[in-house]
Amino acid sequence: MAQKWSDLDKYIELLLDSKSEEETVFMYLDAQNNGDPYDLQVVSYLAKSTTKYYTLSGKGLTLYENDVPVEFISLGQWLIERDSYNHIKELSFFKQFNKWKFMRMWKKTIKHNNRMKAKNALEEKLFMLQPHFRDHLAHHRRLMIEMQHLKFVDICRGDVKSIDEFEES
């Protein structure tokens, strides 16, 4: 795969070729909105973001937030990190990650919707979940438990009777 050279790469090559210690040449950069932290676009001073932008010089890359320098990394270290990031990004796991994430989220949403449908169906059909039935069912259950403890028939456990004897008594 042929490497595509961006304006930034061309500028970095010029910086490395003409390393002049006497003059400080730098360029303003803005991050692209594609999720790639190393995909920076060369912009003019007036076009740079006011909240977060970078400057690139022969010494390195500086991150500015609200016009205050926050982080500095040497140019050589930044190039190594960018190459490592791009190699890792080409691994099949990371290439397919967004598809896998979408499928997991889709599956999770489908399961959630099915659970909600089942929950709603149960809430509609179960008497115990409806307040006006719940009170009556609880009262009825209490009465049944009380009746269970009452003895309506005296059962003698040791006395075995035949059917005829049972009918007579």
Task: Copy the structure tokens of residue 148.
Answer: 């269970």
pTM exceeds 0.95, yes or no? no
* 126 or 55, which is more confident: 55
Task: Copy the structure tokens of residue 92.
Answer: 């099949």
Q: How many Cα neighbours within 13 Å face the side chain of 122?
A: 8
pLDDT of 59 above 80: yes
User: CA gyration radius for the chain?
Assistant: 39
Domain boundaries, the chain: 7-89, 92-149
What percentage of residues in the chain have a pLDDT greater than 70? 87
pLDDT of 30 above 60: yes
- Do residues 63 and 50 make contact, with C-beta atoms less than 8 angstroms apart? no
pLDDT of 60 above 60: yes
pLDDT in tens, 89-144: 888 888 888 888 999 999 999 999 999 999 888 877 877 777 778 888 889 999 99
* 166 or 56, which is more confident: 56
